[in-house]
Amino acid sequence: DGGITQSPKYLFRKEGQNVTLSCEQNLNHDAMYWYRQDPGQGLRLIYYSQIVNDFQKGDIAEGYSVSREKKESFPLTVTSAQKNPTAFYLCASSPGQGVYEQYFGPGTRLTVT
């Protein structure tokens, strides 16, 4: 079955530690995205990538980093520079640039204490 997987579903970290969230897709999609969602809030774009080895900052990129070495994978690292990292993180993909529907993974809920 084609889809997007994110792991782990729940993640707990101590303040000051970097943490990497996994996102893998087997839909053969060119574009991938990372969003952050806080309780009762909408989705805010962190980073996105339209092709391998290229990515762009979204609206809230500070304190985050990404890589896109393979078409299927778009990991997100939450660094210690991110002041409020506790949130629900969603990865999505779409067939390419332009106006396409986005397919979302199940999300990772990160708690930093």
User: Which residues of this protein are in contact with other proteins, per CB under 8 A?
Assistant: 33, 35, 41-45, 48, 50, 58, 90, 97-99, 101-107
- Smallest separation, CB 90 to other proteins (Å): 6
C-alpha 65: how far from its chain's center? 10
Q: How far apart are CA 34 and CA 82, in angstroms?
A: 15
Angle at 29 between CA 54 and CA 35, to 5 degrees: 65
Q: Which is nearer to other proteins, 16 or 98 (CB)?
A: 98
Are 81 and 62 a contacting pair, CB within 8 Å? yes
C-beta of 1 vs 99, nearer to other proteins: 99
Residue 33 or 74 having the CB closest to other proteins: 33
Give the nearer residue to other proteins in terms of CB position, either 21 or 90.
Answer: 90
In whole angstroms, how close is the CB of 26 to other proteins at the nearest point? 16
Rounded to whole angstroms, the Cα distance separating 30 from 87 reads 26
Q: Which element (helix H / strand E) includes 10? A: strand 10-13
Q: Strand, coil or helix: what is 70?
A: strand
In whole angstroms, the minimum distance from the beta carbon of 24 to other proteins comes to: 15
Q: Give the nearest distance from C-beta 56 to other proteins in angstroms.
A: 8
